Amino acid sequence: MRTILTTTGISLFMSAGRKYNTKAPTDDQMRQHLRMEPKSASAEANSLLQIAQPDDHIVLLHTDTPEARKCAELLGDFFDNQGYKHVQLVPLEFQEDAEHIETTGLRSLVDTLIYEVEKAQRKEHEVVINATAGFKAQVVYSTMIGMLYHVPVKYIYEKFQRIVTFNPMALDWDTSLFLNHNKFFQWLDDEPRSQQEVEKRLKGLPDQESIEALLTLPDENGEVFLSPMGGALQRRFLKELLNFPMCRQSLGDTLKTRLRLVSKTRKLAKMGSSNCYGPMVKKR
């Protein structure tokens, strides 16, 4: 069994707008365009029709805006009608304004991708990330997650119309920073921290520059967070610890608290909470 995680944008909305010479194509116009010319109407349909099989599990990761949500729904209906048996829609907390792309949008993408990859791997599914559609930044972070979790990433370059596969490489990711400075990262996770607080906390640490490379720039409130890349590495670190009970037992109470928090968020995810690592999922 195979799960295909697909970043989903508004290519259908834009394509239908060009075809019907309108800035706001109707649902019927988008639906007809997709039905009659699926490969030219939608980057998502073009890629999935070449990658997916009817028995595959297709997960459409879409930004939670009206246009993106409608495109994902129409794509879901299209693949249902084409005989694909398992299609799910998963919204991302991806805000359109540039100020929140790193602090909220890309973090949501990273958390959701990791959650869906781990969920599929627990079911012993082969996992593929289809990063053809969506924001360009999503391609970069999707590829990064593929490398971290040993998952191939597929992409179709529109001018050549052929599938390019980025196969996972045997990279040795150094997550020791999270082990050596776990108290700092837990402190950073507990609540929003100001730039001044973070600088004071980091002062004198031997790995200060390496840690700073995993943090965001201050947001409009002057607060600093773990970057999407840092979040992905931290999740990978926690996954490694969860796989080694003896290592887990040797850690202090601080890390045990963090592991219990991860376990709790996974339980909340199963209950359908969108404010944890597990996203809301719309089953078709």
Task: Quick: pLDDT tens for 72-107.
Answer: 999 999 999 999 999 999 998 765 555 555 556 787
Least confident segment among 10-24, 99-113, 137-151? 99-113
Question: Tell me, what's the pLDDT at 102?
Answer: 56
Tokens at 125, concatenated: 């599914």
Give the other-Cβ count within 10 Å of 162's Cβ.
Answer: 8
- Confidence grade of residue 263 (pLDDT, cut at 50, 70, 90): very low
pLDDT at 209 over 60: yes
CB atoms within 10 A of CB 279: 24
What is the per-residue pLDDT for 272?
A: 41
Q: What is the mean pLDDT of residues 54-75?
A: 93
- Average the pLDDT over 153-160 and give the result: 77
SS3 of 206, please? coil
Domain ranges of the chain: 2-166, 176-266
Among 17-21, 136-140, 243-247, name the one with the lowest average pLDDT.
243-247
Q: In the predicted model, is pLDDT for residue 245 greater than 60?
A: no
Instruction: Calculate the average pLDDT of the chain.
Output: 81
CB 1: neighbour CB atoms within 10 A?
11
Q: Which CATH architecture has domain 2-166?
A: 3-Layer(aba) Sandwich (3.40)
Confidence tier at 269 by pLDDT (50, 70, 90) = very low
Q: 């295909």: which residue's tokens?
A: 4
Mean pLDDT for 102-113 is 78
Amino acid at 264: K
Q: What is the mean pLDDT of residues 215-242?
A: 81
Query: What percentage of the chain carries pLDDT values higher than 90?
Result: 40
* Window from 64-78, 96-110, 162-176, 183-197 with minimum mean pLDDT: 96-110
What's the confidence (pLDDT) of residue 279? 46
Q: What pLDDT is attached to residue 234?
A: 82
pTM score, whole prediction: 0.73
> Does residue 251 carry a pLDDT above 70?
no
d(CA 79, CA 38): 11
Contacts 24+ apart (CB under 8 A), 78-82: 78/31, 78/34, 78/35, 78/38, 78/45, 79/45, 79/48, 79/52, 80/284, 82/54
* Residues contacting 84, CB < 8 A, separation 6+: 52, 54, 56, 58
Model pLDDT, residue 15: 95
